[in-house]
Amino acid sequence: MNYLPHNWSRHIEWIDFHTHDKRGEAHVLRVLSLEAEDAVHRIAFQEPNMLFTVGLHPWRLDADQSVFNRRLNLLKSLAKRQHVVGLGEAGLDRLHGPGLECQCKYFSAFLSLADELNKTVIVHCVRCFPELLSIKKLFPDRVRLMIHGFNAKTPLLEQLIQHNCRISLGAQGVARDDVMNWFRLHPEYISSLCLETDDSGLSIKTIYEQAARQLQISLDELSQIMKTNFKTLFEFE
């Protein structure tokens, strides 16, 4: 279980669920995504309004099993640090990285670690959603996945949500009328929505403003929804 400071939401207006932007910003809580080796020194220092996820991105995987095992052990050690709230990025990519069979084997090992440590996983997935869902079925629903940077059609969106995945939208995602209309017309699934900047360089407030317009709700209402979703996703008290 992760713990937030008392009255944390009073000075936080916006939550960036997944970013590579290392800058601090007043009133924004960032979840900074780091590769395992990059995290060793970065997470040693407590930074205001900054939490971390640490991962093994599929683009940077080594097909050598011994190399992967060594990196996974490093990740396991880092994941126990106080301000590390999740694992990732991790996932599957048909266009980059080692062969898909190798990636699937490694992703299964990654989810096993997430289950052992009770950590949420930030997922990078490119053209591999059937494989992703096939692997996810091997693990209990307590293994929480957030699909970051979702930018696909609504049938896939609905399928992922039905498999208990959270969906994180960045600038491209919130600009999609079909995706945002689906959430607007299915408010019972708004608890599955997250918002992120990833590596866009945009302000997270810009993402929220676009999402609020598309959902036809106020910024304040959207901010409160995201705070609730954040606490549930990362199992905060």
As a whole number of angstroms, the distance between CA 167 and CA 45 comes to: 30
Q: Give the separation between CA 30 and CA 126, rounded to whole angstroms.
A: 24
Answer yes or no: is 6 within a domain: no
Residues in the chain: 237
Cα gap 190→67, rounded to integer Å = 40
Please report whether residue 136 resides in a domain. yes
Is-contact 10 49, C-beta < 8 A? no
CATH code for the domain of 226:
3.20.20.140
Residue 1: per-residue pLDDT? 66
Q: CA angle 51-55-56, nearest 5°? A: 160
Taken in order 113, 158, 233, 207, is the CA torsion positive or negative? positive
Q: Measured between alpha carbons, how far is 63 from 70 in angstroms, rounded to an integer? A: 12
User: Is residue 107 in some structural domain?
Assistant: yes
Residue 226, helix vs strand vs coil: helix
* pTM (2 d.p.): 0.96
**Residue 5 within any structural domain of the chain:** no
Label residue 100 exposed, middle or buried (CB < 10 Å: 0-12, 13-18, 19+).
middle
Residues forming a β-bridge with 236: 2
Residue 163, domain member (yes or no) = yes
Residue 1 falls inside a structural domain: no
Return all residues near 135 (Cβ < 8 A) that are at least 6 apart: 104, 107, 108, 111
Residue stretches of the chain with pLDDT short of 70: 1, 3-7, 237
Total domains present in the chain: 1
Instruction: Give every CB contact of residue 217 below 8 A, 6+ residues apart in sequence.
Output: none
Q: Quote the pLDDT of residue 180.
A: 98
Q: Is residue 210 part of a domain?
A: yes
How many whole angstroms separate alpha carbon 71 and alpha carbon 36?
7
* Residue 227 lies in domain: 11-233
pLDDT of residue 25: 84
Using alpha carbons, select from 233, 237, 225 the residue that is nearest to residue 86.
233
Indicate whether 103 belongs to any domain: yes
Q: Provide the H-helix boundaries in 18-170.
A: 36-42, 65-79, 100-117, 129-136, 154-162
